[in-house]
Amino acid sequence: MKPSDMRELALTDFDQEIENRKKELMELRFQASMGNLPQPHRVSQLRREVAQLNTIRGERQRKEGQQ
């Protein structure tokens, strides 16, 4: 998901999106520990997406708090 797409999400959807990505990340880490990881780049991609979602959510919360 691109950051521009993330910015279009409703504030309530951020928690669900973050949870989904963290769940997938946990499954990938488990597969990596078993030595069966078909897409190793997906781990860093998910970590980046979680960080971006958290950042955009924080920006929105600060923006709404100022108004």
SS3 2: coil
The number of beta carbons lying within 10 Å of the beta carbon of residue 17 is 16
CATH of residue 60: 1.10.287.310
pLDDT in tens, 25-67: 999 999 999 999 999 999 999 999 999 999 999 999 898 887 6
What pLDDT does 64 receive?
85
What domain range is 12 assigned to?
Answer: 3-66
**How many domains does one find in the chain?**
1
Question: Which residue spans within the chain are E strands per DSSP?
Answer: none
Residue 26's nearest CA partner among 42, 3, 2 is: 42
Nearest to 17 by CA among 62, 49, 39, 65: 49
